[in-house]
Homo-oligomer: A and B are copies of this chain.
Amino acid sequence: MPLVRKLSAFVALSAEEISVLESLRKRRRTFVAGRDLVHQGQSDQTAYILMSGWACSYKILADGQRQIIDFQIPGDFLALRSVLLHMSDHSVEPVTDIEVTEVLKSDLLEAFAQTPRLALAIFWAASRDEAMVVEHLVGIGRRDAAVRVAHFLLELGARLSLVGMGDKAGFACPLTQYFVADAIGLSAVHVNRVLRQLREKGLLTFRDGIVRFDDYDRLVEFAQFDAAYLDQIGPLLA
């Protein structure tokens, strides 16, 4: 289960804690690409663990503009913070067909009451999610277009590697340039131009659903990418 693999980067889970997570499997559901499963403004929102496929979280402004907050990959929570807020502050759209397991508010309360280490691991995952949103804020606020695109794809690569879906050579990526554009605050045409520049510099190639890092080390330097905020260097709690 990808979530077990991911949380193991923070805490050495016990057999009991793993079985609590595995027990959630019985509430498995599927959603098709493009049909929102979390709705901005909805109260009593359920959270989900993404088992397979990709999703994106986003907000719509009153004037109809859309800002993508982040993409979710297997092992990530969907709408985790919405469970504790009166209403969800964002929506979630499946980028591909996805499989999820439901996490009810009662599951979360029980985890906090019965398995405090698991609750702490979930809190770690939420802290890491926030660190990613902060990094996206810095990117939109301070990075130029080419660095922003490179940083964005390196972050996805590092996150995917944690759940065995990517490495320094690259990863399979279902995102269209429209998704990338809405996430990093550029137009799709601009994203396309930047991707051509990065390819011509021999740094990366994004084509036919594959991101290939053509020169990983040079790309990391170009993007000033320091993966420390992804906190993937091994369990902090024994």
Contact = CB atoms under 8 A, between A and B. Distances in A.
25 contacts: A10-B84, A59-B135, A61-B138, A65-B142, A67-B141, A80-B127, A81-B130, A81-B131, A84-B236, A85-B128, A85-B231, A89-B131, A89-B134, A109-B116, A112-B112, A112-B116, A112-B120, A112-B123, A116-B116, A123-B126, A126-B127, A126-B130, A133-B133, A140-B141, A141-B185
Instruction: Tell me if A's interface is mostly helix, strand, loop or mixed.
Output: helix
Contact of A86 (B41, B90, B236): B236
Given A141-B67, A233-B86, A236-B84, A224 B61 contact: yes
Interface string A208-230: 00000000000000001010110
A61 B142 contact: yes
A186 to B, nearest CB: 10
Interface of A: 10, 41, 59, 61-63, 65, 67, 69, 80-81, 84-87, 89-90, 108-109, 112-113, 116-117, 119-120, 123-124, 126-131, 133-138, 140-143, 185, 224, 226, 228-229, 231, 233, 236
